[in-house]
Each structure stands twice: as C-alpha cells, then as structure tokens.
Amino acid sequence: MKVGKKFAPHPNLKKVYFVYLGLVAIIPLIVTSLPIWATYIFAPEIWRATWAHLFIPLTIVLAILCFLACWIPKYYRSISYVLKEDEVMVERGVWWKMKHVVPYARVMSVDVIQGPISRHFGVGSVHVYTAGYTGMRGGTAGPGSRGAEACIWGVPNFMEIRDVIIGLVRGRPLFGAPDVGLEMLKELRKIRKAVKK
C-alpha cells in the first residue's frame, strides 16, 4: 500500500453488489410472478382475458433490476481512494459525484468490517470516524451507532489499509493543534543557545 497512490476497490466488489441485488430481487419477483402462475393454473378463463395486464408488475420489476444490473459496473468504476500524507480521500458517484476528504488530525477511530458475503469474496471495508461526526444515520457515540465519515470498501487488503491509516494518524495532534511539548522543546533549545553565548 503506497501512500499518495490512487487505488480502486477489488473487482469482487461488483460480485458482492450483484449478490445483494439478487437477494433483494427475490421477494418482488415472487410477488409479481405468483398472480401470473395462479391465474394460469387455477383460472384459465381469466388468464385468457387478462394475461397482458398480469405481466405489467413483473415487467416493471424486471426493468428496475436490469437498470440496477447496468448501474453496478458504472458505480464500481466511479470509486477511488487515496491515502495521502495528511488525509484520506474517497471519490464515488455515477451522476452525483461525491468526494470525502478526512484529515488525519480529526480521525478518532478506524474500524474494519467484513460481512459473510464480503468474506466469501475476500473483500472488506475500512471505516474512518472523526470526533463528533454523526453522518446521515445520526446517533450518539461510537462507531456502531453512527456513520463513518470515510469508507474504503471492497478491498482485499483492508487490514493493511487500516494499519497504514493508524500509522499516519499516530503522533499527530488532535484537530491539527500545535504540539505544545515540541514547541516548548524548541524554545528551551533557543534559550540554551542564548545562555551559552
């Protein structure tokens, strides 16, 4: 993992999205298909008169699923990440482009998450939280109750990325405040030099 180099999620992220789409599609497909089969089997006279109307809900569901299946690869290609020296940057979006920039001086915690489907495909995500950020989910405190300010998802080396971010965060003063101890040390050195003269 090189600092400053742009990288993208692993192609397996598309597979994860397609599995989610398939799981979500099961119920609407069953609900819109049942009336067609029930009418065809149990009421053939109604079937002959209204078969075209019975396919309308199923056609709408299939159109939405086709749209989402075409959208997933476009969305995947729009995602990019950069771990810079001073900040983490996440860009994404097909129509509405979003760019999240989180300075390391504001980072309070870094979590990794890997669900069962992501684990099957060998990818995970890194969630970067800042002090007081509640995100769109709102909530109280702690990573479990609020949204992350920056998410790096769909990467196979999520543990390595977490370690790199933690390494870049360590030793930085919170909120970019000057390090008082370092400032005092500089002043003491100046005083020592002045006294020696």
> CA separation (Å) from 138 to 88, 99, 113, 145, 147?
22, 20, 19, 8, 7
Instruction: Reduce the DSSP state of residue 139 to 3 states and report it.
Output: coil
Bridge partners of 100? 90
Could you give the angle at the alpha carbon of 66 between the alpha carbons of 65 and 70, nearest 5°? 115
| Secondary structure (DSSP) of 170-185 | TTPPGGG---HHHHHH
- Calpha distance 127→137 (Å, rounded): 14
Long-range CB contact pairs, 23-28, < 8 A, 24+: 25/61, 25/65, 28/61
Helices (H), 79-176: 116-120, 158-169
pLDDT of residue 177: 55
pLDDT of residue 182: 65
> CA separation (Å) from 71 to 7, 63, 146, 151?
21, 12, 27, 20
pLDDT in tens, the chain (197 residues): 688 899 999 999 999 999 999 999 999 999 999 999 999 899 888 888 888 888 999 999 999 999 999 999 999 999 999 999 899 999 999 999 999 999 988 888 899 999 999 999 999 999 999 876 555 544 444 444 567 888 999 999 999 999 999 988 886 665 555 556 667 777 888 888 888 87
pLDDT of residue 140: 44
Q: How many residues can be counted in the chain? A: 197
Query: What are the boundaries of each domain within the chain?
Result: 1-197
